[in-house]
Amino acid sequence: MSFKDEYQKEKDPSIKRIAEFLMKRANEDKFVAASLENEKKSLSGCYDYIKSVARKKAVKGCAVLEDSEVFYLAQHYYQESDDDLKNEKDVEIESVEKPVSLTVTKKPAKQSHKIKSNKKALEVDEKLKESGQLSLF
């Protein structure tokens, strides 16, 4: 079955997203396009490969992979032979997308009522000083 046929029959949104990335890369790179036509490879096999790598990287049963890591593994799956993939001990995951720059901004702090009441207290103190009366507070 061809890659596009697999994509059209696929129901899992995660696998569809991976396939869409691979099709985009295939439009940009003829080598990737040729690797997708390998009849020994499949989208379900690709997904299983990605899950197996994630399991190897899991700590206490939990693994987290960035999108770029998943896309790298998908492309790697299609470009390597099955024997090479089976003999891998560890996969050095690289990014195939531009890194995302995150900017954290802080909301301005709301002024509390204490500040306003302190301003009022200062105003009262000033008035008392002007009148010559002492403040007990």
Structural domains in the chain (count): 1
Residue 125, pLDDT above cutoff 50 = yes
- Note whether residue 116 is domain-resident: no
Q: Cα separation of 107 and 100, whole Å?
A: 22
The pLDDT value given to residue 96: 53
Its domain, for residue 30, covers: 3-87
pTM of the model: 0.65
- Note whether residue 136 is domain-resident: no
- Note whether residue 118 is domain-resident: no
Q: Which of 27, 32, 40, 114 is nearest to 75 (CA)?
A: 32
62 forms bridges with which residues in the sheet?
59
- Note whether residue 95 is domain-resident: no
Residue 129, pLDDT above cutoff 70 = no
- Note whether residue 54 is domain-resident: yes
pLDDT tens track for 12-35: 999 999 999 999 999 999 999 999
